[in-house]
Amino acid sequence: MKKHIPNTLTCLNLFFGCLAILSAWHKQYDQMIYCALASGGFDFVDGMAARLLHVKSSIGKELDSLADMVSFGFLPGTVLYLMLEESSSSDFLPYTGFVVTVFSALRLAKFNVDTRQTTDFIGLNTPMNTFFIISLPYIAAEVAWVKNPLVLLATVALSSFLLISEVKLFSMKLSSLSWRENKFKYLFLIASLASLLIGGLLALPGILLLYIVFSKLHFWSETSA
């Protein structure tokens, strides 16, 4: 029975990813955020469950990528499509939002075959990219220029680049609870929590920047130790 627990959690990631996409299409962005957070939570614990229960499998790895393609590939593309559709008079420009979906697929395929990414990431992981993008409708409600088509196109380009880049970023999977080994990961979590408490969803772009900065500090400290 226990061998099915991780895959069940992965399927729940996929299920809530589908709900998040439906919510986005109906412009129910609050509901979309809750469903996306549920997807992210299940995506985090499925791998943890597999390791704790010692039931890691090749089918679990493939299922995880397929679920992530929906929850963290199609969802951000959908949000960008809808924002571009609302802000642009072009019939074709909104479809560029799905370029992020294409690059998310490339990112996930690369991750599956790249042996350098067993403990950390090379390129921005799809969940972090998704949480940045789904914050944009909220930010645009407060900052009007965010919904400018040129800004959204720049977001598509930057997001797509980061997904398949060679930028090394840490994973939040901890091999130990040691402060010394995980100092910058803990500092990132503290700074992110403080940012969310102060700025709410408006803080998510800043959290993405913090993630990149603390990752660089983490790897710099490792090489200089």
CB of 48 closer than 8 Å to CB of 60: no
Q: What does the pLDDT look like over 84-140, one tens digit per residue?
A: 999 988 899 999 999 999 999 999 999 888 888 777 899 999 999 999 999 999 999
- Nearest one of 110, 48, 47, 46 to 73, comparing CA atoms: 110
| Angle (deg, nearest 10), helices 99-113 and 58-69 | 170
The rounded mean pLDDT for the chain is 90
Q: What does the pLDDT look like over 150-202, one tens digit per residue?
A: 999 999 999 999 999 999 998 877 666 778 778 899 999 999 999 999 988 88
Cross-strand bridge partners of residue 121? 169
Q: What distance in Å separates the CA atoms of residue 74 and residue 153, rounded to the nearest whole number?
A: 17
Phi then psi for 121, rounded to 5 degrees?
A: -105, 150
Phi then psi for 207, rounded to 5 degrees?
A: -65, -35
Q: What distance in Å separates the CA atoms of residue 45 and residue 129, rounded to the nearest whole number?
A: 19
